[in-house]
Amino acid sequence: MNRLRALLGLQLPLIQAGMGGVAGIRLCTEVSRAGAGGTLALYKEPPDRIREAVREIAAATSRPFGVNVIPEVTSPELCRAQLDAALGELPDNGYVTTFGLPGADAARDVTRTGRPLVVQIGTPDDASAALRLGADVLVLQGTEAGGHLLGELPVAELLYAVRTRHPDAVIAMAGGVATGADLARARSAGADGAMAGTVFVPTTESMAHPLFKRRIVEARADDTVVTGRYDIGWPARPHRVLRNALTEENRRLPATFIATTRLGAARIPVPRYSATVPGVRTEGRIDEMAMYCGTSCDRVTAQDTAAAVVRKLRHEYEHELSYEREGGTWTAPSNR
């Protein structure tokens, strides 16, 4: 049995990335029901909303799903309060993913419940640190990835370096995976599976703004760029986004309000260079906002439901693996 699948209880060794402003209740539920790792982004959400959301997902799927925290954008106190709220409602088969290394206390909050701790990192040293913190799965993020970047190595180099150091670690790679063939290649390169974000942004259930969804489908890898521009609300972390007038402009323009987004009944102004993604409830200059996107957009060419995306990936993956060409040996489905 594939180790990532076995550990998380998945049908396919693929985790959907928690994506702030994109991966809400519906996306997480549908990915989980389809047999991959649906993940709810907690980003800066307050604990009471988290409790409700996790309860709602748990009522809608009996398959595993997870929650995602970003310790570097929350205070240690908020991160632990988010985890406390989520873990109180998360079924026993749920898991927790973190963007970057969690604090030792936060890591312990998860591991002592017996639920898998999935830590995304971008350097070999952070991979070792994550294992010391008790991580059950390492997600190795390469520079191909969409969103904020944890390191400076392409995913293949990072995978090679970490696999050499930690031959027994359960590893998922993040960056460059949008098809079942990509997933099969990740396995051949030595990973146990993958985490993917970009491919889920244009799905029906994602909370991304319709223009953001369309742009990802139309984009090629060359249309993405690594920049430090969108630093309001999440400073000092480079990120891969779709190019636009702001990323191509040499000068830094004033951070005046360019859009609004709704939080409950309130409308919240969004400054130029905000790290916030344009969502379904955002109005204004959507074009100038941060549209995080990985180079895997090359192979994201249609808009579909999350279930259809997972089905397609699974079909392609099983096709790739059904016959191991070199050895010509049949691999039983349960071993994939």
Ligand X SMILES: Cc1cc2nc3c(=O)[nH]c(=O)nc-3n(C[C@H](O)[C@H](O)[C@H](O)COP(=O)(O)O)c2cc1C
Of 77, 4, 36, 20, whose CA–CA distance to 237 is shortest?
A: 20
Query: How near is the Cβ of 323 to ligand X at its closest, in Å?
Result: 27
Neighbours of 212 (CB within 10 A): 27
Query: How near is the Cβ of 247 to ligand X at its closest, in Å?
Result: 15
SS3 label, residue 316? helix
In DSSP terms, 262 is beta-bridged to: 267
Of 51, 148, 137, 48, whose CA–CA distance to 95 is shortest?
A: 137
* Phi, psi (rounded to 5 degrees) for 141: -95, 120
DSSP string computed for 276-314: PPPBTT-EE-GGGS--B--GGGGG------HHHHHHHHH
Nearer to ligand X, 186 or 258 (CB): 186
Nearer to ligand X, 64 or 151 (CB): 151
Query: How near is the Cβ of 28 to ligand X at its closest, in Å?
Result: 12
Query: How near is the Cβ of 209 to ligand X at its closest, in Å?
Result: 11
* Phi, psi (rounded to 5 degrees) for 182: -60, -40
Nearer to ligand X, 86 or 330 (CB): 86
Nearer to ligand X, 7 or 121 (CB): 121
Query: How near is the Cβ of 105 to ligand X at its closest, in Å?
Result: 19
CA distance 34 to 304: 14
* Phi, psi (rounded to 5 degrees) for 186: -60, -40
Nearer to ligand X, 228 or 323 (CB): 228
CA distance 186 to 190: 7
Going by their DSSP bridges, the two strands 137-141 and 266-271 should be labelled as unpaired
DSSP string computed for 25-59: HHHHHHHHHTTSBEEEE-TT--HHHHHHHHHHHHH
Query: How near is the Cβ of 193 to ligand X at its closest, in Å?
Result: 13
C-alpha separations of 146 from 54, 200, 257 in Å: 25, 11, 25
Nearer to ligand X, 18 or 124 (CB): 18
Query: How near is the Cβ of 335 to ligand X at its closest, in Å?
Result: 25
CA atoms within 13 Å, Cβ hemisphere of 58 = 18
Query: Contact residues for ligand X (CB under 6 A)?
Result: 17-20, 22, 41, 43, 68, 70, 99, 120, 141, 145-147, 174-175, 177, 195-198, 201, 277, 292-294, 296
CA atoms within 13 Å, Cβ hemisphere of 38 = 31
Nearer to ligand X, 84 or 298 (CB): 298
Nearer to ligand X, 174 or 286 (CB): 174
Instruction: State the residue for tokens 């941060």.
Output: 290
Query: How near is the Cβ of 293 to ligand X at its closest, in Å?
Result: 6
Nearer to ligand X, 35 or 175 (CB): 175
Query: How near is the Cβ of 328 to ligand X at its closest, in Å?
Result: 32
